[in-house]
Amino acid sequence: MNETITAQAFYLNNEELISEAVKNNEGVIASNGAFSTSTGSRTGRSPNDRFIVDEPTTSD
């Protein structure tokens, strides 16, 4: 990844966050008013990337 960050935004409310995402072509506003985006070809869970946690509150 050789991306250069040119601007950062902190503490945006929902409206501002969605507006920035639409402006950056990261999603669109659907006909029902919801923000919609595509995650690309890797949308499912990866069975090979799982972690098993064994700690006192979850084991018998």
What pLDDT is recorded for position 13? Answer: 96
Q: Is the pLDDT of residue 26 over 90?
A: yes
Q: Residue 43 pLDDT > 80, yes or no?
A: no
pTM for this entry? 0.56
CA dihedral 30, 3, 51, 58 (to 10 degrees): -70
Q: Is residue 45 scored above 90 in pLDDT?
A: no
In a domain, 44, yes or no: no
Tokens of 41: 């070809």
Q: Which residues contact 9 (CB under 8 A, 6 or more apart)?
A: 16, 20
Number of domains within the chain: 1
Asked if residue 26 belongs to a domain, the reply is yes
Neighbours of 18 (CB within 10 A): 16
Mean pLDDT of 7-32: 93
**Does some domain include residue 55?**
no
In a domain, residue 45? The reply is: no
Question: pLDDT grade, residue 1 (50/70/90)?
Answer: low
Helical spans, DSSP H, in 1-60 = 14-23
- Mean pLDDT (the chain) is 85
